[in-house]
Amino acid sequence: MAEALALEAFRIARLLVALTVLPFVVYISRDVRVPKVIMWYILSLVAVCASYFFAVVEGFAATEFMNLMQHVSLASAGVLAFVGAFLTKRQVREEGEVS
């Protein structure tokens, strides 16, 4: 029981850290000149935050479904992260061609 509570507390803390970081990421990204690239990283982070959220809810209700949703979020985060990396490569290549 104590172990489950500790795990839940950790999951909540993890979610809080991610939710604290997210506004800063969004705020800074407004000033960065490659918004279309940054957007994919932010979406990936949002998907990770969602997985943290589902992990927290998993401890209270609909365990199976929330676990599945957590994994769906992480799979989406992976795909979005790949798109972000791919667009970064393209952006750097275009910058190189321009200069």
Partner 1 sequence: MTTAPTILSLIGFVGFLAGLVVLVSIPASSGRLYNRQTKTLIIAAYAVYVYVLGIDMVETTFRGTLLGELRSLAQILFPIFLLMALMSGHAAQQMLDLRRSQTALRRSNEFMLDLVDSSPAGMLFLAPHGLIVFANKTAREILDLSENPDTGLLETAGWVSTCSCGARCERLECLLDPHGPGPYQMKIEWPTGWTIHLEVHTEPLADEAGNVGGVVATFERPAPHMVAGGPEAV
The residues that touch partner 1, with contacts defined as CB under 8 A, are 10-11, 13-14, 17-18, 21-22, 24-25, 28-29, 31-34, 38, 41, 45, 48-49, 52, 67-68, 70-72, 74-82, 84-86, 88-89, 91-92, 95
Distance in Å, CB of 5 to partner 1, minimum:
15
Distance in Å, CB of 93 to partner 1, minimum:
8
Distance in Å, CB of 71 to partner 1, minimum:
4
Separation of alpha carbons 16 and 54, rounded Å: 13
Distance in Å, CB of 17 to partner 1, minimum:
5
Q: Following CA atoms 72, 73, 78, 80 in sequence, which dihedral angle do they give, to the nearest 10 degrees?
A: 120
50's tokens:
């969602």
**Residue 35 near residue 91, CB atoms below 8 Å:** no
Nearer to partner 1, 59 or 88 (CB): 88
Separation of alpha carbons 77 and 38, rounded Å: 14
